[in-house]
Amino acid sequence: MEFLYEYGLFIAKAVTIVVAILLALGGIVGIVSKQKQGKGQLEIDSLSDKLNAITELAESELLTKDELKKHRKDEKKKLKAQKKQKNKSDINEANKGRLFVIDFSGSMDAHEVEYLREEVTAILCVVKPDDEVLVRLESGGGVVHGYGLAASQLQRLKDSNVKLTIAVDKVAASGGYMMTCVADHVIAAKFAIIGSIGVIAQLPNFNKLLKKSNIEFEQHTAGAFKRTLTMFGENNDEGREKFKEELEDVHHMFKDFVQEQRPSLDIAKVATGEYWYGIRALDLGLIDEINTSDDYILNANKEKDIFTVKYSMKKALPERLGLAASLGLESLMMRLWSKGTNTFR
C-alpha cells in the first residue's frame, strides 16, 4: 500500500508541474497571438476530381482485371458517342457549367456570415451563365441581424441571375430557414428539421435578488423606450408591452420576407413558430424536393465540374502552438488519469 501511495503522489506532482508549464506557455502564446492575428484565405478545390478518384478506386478494388478492362473500354466508347452527338453549339468539356459548393454551418450569433460574404464575392467574380451554386446549410437560427445579412449575401447570387440551390441535410430553422427560402430550389433530407418561422427573446431578471441583498440598481435613459426590459431593474407592464410589440414587428418582417421569396406558401399556416420534418415540409411547400446533398452532387457530377469554395482564417503560428499545447495537455491528462485509476482500482 505504501508503494501505491507514493506512486499516486508522484503522478499528482507530475501532473501539477506539467499543467503549470503548459498554462504558462498558453498564456505567452495567447499574448503573442493577440498581437498578430492570422489572415483569411480562400480555398477552391475540385470536388469532381475527388469523386472521380473514389470511383476509380472502387472499380479497381471490386472488379476483376478483365471486368475493369471491359468497363474502361465501354466508358471510352460511351464518351466518344456522346461527343459525336454534340453539335458545335452544345456545351463541351471546355465550357460546360460548373457547380460551386459552399458549406454554411451557422451558430447563434451568425458570425459565419463573414466567411460567407467572401465566398459569395469570389464566386461572383468568376461566375458564368451556366454555373450554379449549391449551399449545404445547417443552422437552428440565431440573431435577427446576423441571419438577415446572411440571407442578403445569398440574395446577391440571385440578383446576379446565378441559379441557387440550398440543401438541408439536418436542420434549417428560424434564421436558417430565412436563408433557405432565398434559394431557387430547396432540397432536404426526409427527416431534416425545417421551418420555425417565429421570433423569441428571453432574459432573466435579478431585481428581487438585489433587493433581498440590499443592493440598489440605477439606470438612466433618454427616450421613453431606450430600454424596455432590464435584467437588474424593476420591469413594468408598459415596458413588457413595448417589448412584445417589437417582437411582433420582427415576426411580421420575417413573414413578409418568406412570402416574398416563396409566394405560393400559406404563410399564416407555416409562420406559427412550428417546425416540420422534410416529408411534411414538402407537403406544406417549404421545400421543393426530398433529396440529400450527397445525391444531388453525385448527379451533378455527370454534367458539371464541381468545386468547393471555402474562406477561412489562417491561424498564426502562436495560435497553432497554443492549440497543440492544449491538445497535448488533454492527451497527457487522460493517459495519467487512466494509469492512476488502473493502479488504485
The amino acid that residue 32 corresponds to is V
| Residues with pLDDT less than 70, the chain | 1-16, 18-20, 22-38, 71, 74-75, 78-95, 315-345
Burial of 331 (0-12, 13-18, 19+ CB in 10 A): exposed
The amino acid that residue 275 corresponds to is Y
Chain centroid, CA 173 distance in Å: 12
Please state the pTM of the whole predicted model. 0.75
Task: Please give the torsion angle defined by the CA atoms of residues 192, 172, 104 and 154, in that order, rounded to the nearest 10 degrees.
Answer: 130
Kindly report, residue by residue over 124-150, the tens digit of the pLDDT.
Answer: 999 999 999 999 999 999 999 999 999
Domain boundaries, the chain: 2-37+317-344, 40-78+94-196+274-313
For residue 303, the SS3 value is coil
Kindly report, residue by residue over 225-257, the tens digit of the pLDDT.
Answer: 888 999 999 999 999 999 999 999 999 999 999
Give the CA angle between residues 209, 215, 220 to the nearest 5°: 105
User: Which positions ≥6 away from 194 have C-beta within 8 Å?
Assistant: 168, 171, 172, 173, 177, 180, 188, 275, 276, 277, 278, 281, 286, 287
User: Which positions ≥6 away from 158 have C-beta within 8 Å?
Assistant: 164, 182, 184
**Termini Cα distance of the chain:** 12
For 12-23, give the secondary structure using H, E and C. HHHHHHHHHHHH
Tell me: domain 40-78+94-196+274-313, CATH 2.120.10.60, correct?
Answer: no
Q: Which residues are catalytic?
A: 174, 226
